Amino acid sequence: MSIRIVLADDHQIVREGLRALVAAQDGMDVVGEASNGRAAVELSIEMSPDVVVMDIGMPDLNGIEATRRILSENPRCKVIGLSMHSDRRFLSEMLKAGATAYLLKDSAFEELASAIRAVVAGQVYLSPRIADAVVEGYLHGTGGGRQPSAFAVLTSREREVLQLVAEGQATKQIAASLHVSVKTVETHRRQIMEKLNLHSVAELTKYAIREGLASIEV
């Protein structure tokens, strides 16, 4: 039986490349594609794939939050994180969310098939370059003196609101997207600013990009 795979990346050209790579492998089949995190969650619930290849920097709902939701619905699914970032914070949060592999985008085409086979076999797969970066970070103590991580101080809903604010959505749009009231969104935004000691949308946006919750391209 083929390994059923969902590809989640906001760049169509990346998805096309990954699809072509998977198509060249025996026993693998792409059963769906998603261009944002919320669609990836919905598609994964609908298709019950064996593996989801998840870009971390997804619009609407980032890949870390999407991974949590996918695995809460289907714990047997395996998620492979895909990112441009070798920062150990992103790796750490993706693994905490339940991912069992992490690849850098610029090496994904060489490593993806191996990673898929590894996670289906119950193994953890880290790109060698990721492993090197993590070790280097721990040895040299990088990351000291930063503002607190969004994943340490904000709730899941607050992170969701922060991402949508950083992506330029108005309060009414966010409220409609999350099916909550405008007042609830305003309360979340105020609490986020208080927790992070930030005082403007511009500061929130810069912070969200640095934390991997939003992309400069969005």
Task: Quickly state the pLDDT bin for 209 (edges 50, 70, 90).
Answer: confident
Using one digit for the tens of pLDDT, what is the confidence trace for 142-199? 444 456 788 888 998 999 999 999 988 999 999 999 999 999 999 999 999 999 999 8
Task: Quickly state the pLDDT bin for 218 (edges 50, 70, 90).
Answer: very low
Task: Quickly state the pLDDT bin for 84 (edges 50, 70, 90).
Answer: confident
Q: How far apart are CA 59 and CA 65, in angstroms?
A: 11
Whether the pLDDT of residue 16 is over 50: the answer is yes
Contact 128, 36 (CB under 8 A): no
Using one digit for the tens of pLDDT, what is the confidence trace for 17-55? 999 999 999 999 999 999 999 999 999 999 999 999 999
Could you tell me which residues come within 8 angstroms of residue 73 by beta carbon, excluding any fewer than 6 positions away?
41, 44, 45
Higher pLDDT, 128 or 141: 128
**Domains along the chain with CATH numbers:** 3-140 (3.40.50.2300), 150-210 (1.10.10.10)
pLDDT of residue 138: 53
Six-digit token string for 26: 């025996």
CA nearest 63: which of 79, 87, 48, 42? 79
Using one digit for the tens of pLDDT, what is the confidence trace for 94-136? 988 999 999 988 888 889 999 999 999 999 999 887 766 565 5
